[in-house]
Chain A
Amino acid sequence: MRELSYREALNEALVQAMDANPDVILIGEDIGSYGGAFGVTRGLLDRYGPMRVIDTPISEAGIAGACVGAAMSGLRPVGDMQFSDFITLGMEQVVLQGARMRTMFAGQVSVPLVMRLPGGAGTGAGAQHSGSYENWFVHVPGLKVVMPASAYDAKGLLLAAIDDDNPVIFCEHKLLYNARGHVPEDAYREPLGVTRILRKGRDLTLVATSLMVGLALEAADQLAEEGIEVEVIDPRTLRPLDDPPIIESVIRTGRLLVVHEAVETGGFGGEVVARVVASEAFDYLDAPPLRLAGKEVPVPQSEVLEAAALPQLQDIVRDARKLVRNQV
């Protein structure tokens, strides 16, 4: 079984997409000879040339708008925001133009773009380079939001996102770039909007996204030693959310914990909890559903402060244990 890093998997997805379809282009800052801030586009300028790998000035609104305009014109641009935080500067083009255009113009146009957002904390980069903004986009009809947690999903979901005829916000995590995993060589697609159950368990449904998926699986291993069987679920696509597997899981377990790195208030966990509570699963809940999320603070720089701001493995274990032991 061949293993690649998350970074290499993304790079391979871009290569396979660009080889297969001349309409796929890349637009972003320092994506050319520099290879992208995190090395994802390494080698692509040499391979495809400056007409398809468009290294731009520092102009996030310009990049986002160029992606929208190119997508309207039938290309399949993949934009790179360098850091997820910088999407704030391109928000208008993504949200007010790209996401709304198809409905405004009654379906006359599609906007098949992918916007890559390298996000997440844990690097000590401080408050302006550590954000997790996925839920801003989850709130926007017209967008799809994808959040791969493994090298396998990074490749399969990126290829599917490029194929998709809608604007897709592709949320990567900086701490995952070196994470290795099995990645097949063929250009496989992981369909958008399909939740994956990573581990079966009868005692607790644990929904996690991005970096938290790995921690959730580790927590499940630890808890299994105590006899607590945790079902770990990765939605992978946050919008549109494939919620039936989550609801069915809670019907089986009666307990729900959602873990993500973005802050709790207005976060994705609230959406998951709301959907479960408003579903058939309500009658099966035997404990209040819990969210475990980033603290309500801009991510600080110092490693102790940063760690305190983010959900840690022991926090997941603690909350899961409390839920299963009826201490919540």
Chain B
Amino acid sequence: MFMQNVSVEMQPLHLALEALGPDGLKDSLASMMLIRAFEEQVDQLYLAGRTRGTLHLSIGQEATNVGALRALKSGDRFFSHHRGHGHALAWTDSPQRVMADIMGKTGGFCDGFGGTMHMADVKSGFLGGNGIVAGSLPMSTGVGLAIRLRAEDAVCLVFFGDGAANEGAFHEALNMASLSQLPVIYVCENNSYAMSTPVNSAFNVESIASRAAAYGIPGFTIDGNDFLDVFHCVHSAVRRARNGDGPTLVEALTYRIKGHSRSDRQAYRSRDEVRRWQEPDRDPILRFASTLIHGGILDEGDIAALKATANSRVDDAVACAEAAPKPDPSRLMDHVYA
């Protein structure tokens, strides 16, 4: 496994506590639980025929989703990818709107035009999901150029998967951003599979992060299921970007618990392998909850309460989205041109 470059410093909890405070850490865990509860519910809705299209679930990747985004502040921007419910929830904390978009209803972000892969909340800095693997990477260069030209105190973070790191766009984007020392943080969610292709069948380098050397930028491989590790590493990368020290490539090792999309029969991996990643020493939520309990920040009762809150918020979101009106077909052409 790719653990050689791990750059975990000692006392990560202490550092995160300093940056986020106890409430921030608690909120982060709540956010991860919300993502888990939401995704499990969406999965069921899909199976029950209450949503359409496709679904790419974030289950198992909650620590990366939340950990990376907690390192940003207001005014910063980020791009998501096709597996983006977790990012949308972590950033907006609005399960109703995410659910409305998935269901093609009004009251979400994109009023039925976007859907699961194309949510965005542009004003808040969430520049959108993307149905094209590596599609966001070249665009992040442009956002970086705009930030630099206007001398804004902001950064642009872009999420992508291990599969995207083999697209030509990855190379072009990282090279260009490095040449201009743009404030861009590349967060590769290496969830072990590009659809059905395991990482070791698609790369002949020891880590994706090692490719950073080709562009003259720092690269780190971290434990993507450890909230504190993700937060810490991305936080440092953001600081470098803000200081004008250019881009960073962060490779967060994680695991996609569900199939690629709803049509995936998962013939390429064993049930045991998946179960192994759901055990308490690997599951990102159980690990973070345990850390917070051991750190004396939360107790078992708090955890149960957080979980109950997450479930009830998701139930509300479903009810709200199902009750929301469908988009008005007469508005079909409204947004084609400015």
What is the interface of chain A, defined by CB distance below 8 A to chain B?
A: 25, 27, 51-52, 54, 56-57, 59-62, 64-75, 77, 92-93, 96-97, 101-110, 112, 141-142, 144, 164-166, 240
- Which of B77, B128, B141, B147 has most chain A Cβ within 10 Å? B141
* Nearest A residue to B110, CB-CB: A106
* Interfacial chain B residues near A96, Cβ < 8 Å: 131-132, 135
What residues on B are CB-neighbors of A60 within 8 Å?
172
Contact B149 A61 (CB under 8 A): no
Are the CB atoms of B143 and A108 closer together than 8 Å?
A: no
Contacts of B113 in A (CB 8 A): 103-106
Instruction: Note all chain A residues with C-beta closer than 8 A to B334.
Output: 106-107
Known: A61-B138, A61-B169, A97-B135. 12 other contacts (CB 8 A): A59-B172, A65-B173, A68-B138, A69-B144, A69-B156, A103-B113, A104-B128, A105-B113, A107-B335, A108-B109, A108-B122, A109-B120
Q: How far is the CA of A109 from the CA of B146 in the complex (A)?
A: 15
Q: Which residues of B contact A142 (CB under 8 A)?
A: 336-337
Once the chains bind, are A67 and B148 in contact (CB under 8 Å)? Answer: no
6 interchain pairs (CB within 8 A)? Answer: A57-B172, A60-B172, A73-B143, A106-B114, A108-B123, A142-B336
Is B20 among interface residues, defined by CB-CB distance under 8 A? no
Task: Enumerate chain B residues within 8 angstroms of A68, measured Cβ to Cβ.
Answer: 138-139, 142
Residues of chain A contacted by B337 (CB below 8 angstroms): 102, 142, 144, 166, 240
Residue of B nearest to A54 (CB): B145
Minimal beta-carbon separation of A42 from chain B (angstroms): 22
State the Cβ distance, A289 to closest chain B Cβ, in Å: 28
State A107–B120 Cα separation when bound (angstroms): 11
Q: Mark B156-186, 1 if CB is under 8 A from A, else 0.
A: 1000000000001100110110011000000
CA distance A142 to B168 in the complex (A): 25
Q: Tell me the bound Cα distance from A52 to B338 in angstroms.
A: 25
B146–A70 contact, CB under 8 A? yes
Q: How far is the CA of A74 from the CA of B169 in the complex (A)?
A: 23
Indicate whether B61 reaches chain A with its CB closer than 8 angstroms: no
Contact A108 B110, CB 8 Å, known A65-B137, A69-B144 = yes
We find that the number of chain B residues with CB closer than 8 angstroms to chain A is: 45
On chain B, the residues within 8 Å of A77 by CB distance are: 142
Are B114 and A69 neighbours in the complex by a CB distance under 8 Å? no
Smallest CB-CB separation from A68: which chain B residue? B139
Partner of A57, one of B122, B123, B179: B179
A252 and B123 CA atoms in complex are apart in Å by: 51
Q: State the Cβ distance, A282 to closest chain B Cβ, in Å.
A: 26
Task: Please report the C-alpha to C-alpha distance between residue A74 and residue B149 in the assembled complex, in whole angstroms.
Answer: 11
Q: Which residues of B contact A65 (CB under 8 A)?
A: 137-142, 169, 172-173
State whether A70 touches B176 (Cβ < 8 A).
Answer: no
A144 CA / B337 CA spacing, docked (Å): 9
* B119 closest partner in A (C-beta): A105
Contact A106 B176 (CB under 8 A): no
A93 CA / B169 CA spacing, docked (Å): 10
B322 contacts across to A, CB distance below 8 A: none
Bound-state CA distance A243–B308 (Å) is: 61
Q: Is the CB of A25 within 8 A of B145?
A: yes
B37 interface residue per 8 A CB criterion: no
> Contact partner of B142 among A59, A69, A107, CB < 8 A?
A69
B87 contacts the other chain (CB 8 A): no
B144: chain A residues within 8 A (beta carbon): 69
Given contacts A65-B138, A106-B113, A107-B334, contact A75 B149 (CB under 8 A): yes
A27 → chain B, closest Cβ, in Å? 8
CB distance from A47 to the nearest CB of B (A): 16
Residues of B within 8 A of A64 (CB): 138
Answer whether A69 and B143 are a contact pair too, CB < 8 Å, given A59-B175, A97-B135, A108-B109. Answer: yes
Separation of A56 and B176 alpha carbons in the complex (Å) = 7
Smallest beta-carbon distance B131→chain A, Å: 8
B146-A51 in contact (CB<8A): no
Q: Are B141 and A25 in contact (CB under 8 A)?
A: no
A178 to chain B, nearest CB (A): 32
Which residues from B are CB-within-8-Å of A71?
A: 142
| Residues in chain B near residue A93, CB distance under 8 A | 135, 138-139, 169
Interface membership of B232, Cβ < 8 A: no
Residue among A61, A66, A105 making CB contact with B122, cutoff 8 Å: A105
Query: Is B121 at the interface (CB under 8 A from chain A)?
Result: yes
Contacts of A56 in B (CB 8 A): 176
> Closest Cβ of chain B: how far from A124's Cβ, in Å?
30
Bound-complex Cα distance A73 to B121 (A) = 13
Q: Is the CB of A57 within 8 A of B110?
A: no
Q: Which residues of B contact A102 (CB under 8 A)?
A: 335-338
Q: Do residues B172 and A62 form an inter-chain contact, with CB atoms below 8 A?
A: yes
Given the contacts A66-B141, A69-B146, A166-B337, A105 and B120 also touching, CB distance less than 8 Å: yes
Are A72 and B179 closer than 8 Å at their CB atoms? no
B111 proximity list for chain A (CB < 8 A): 106
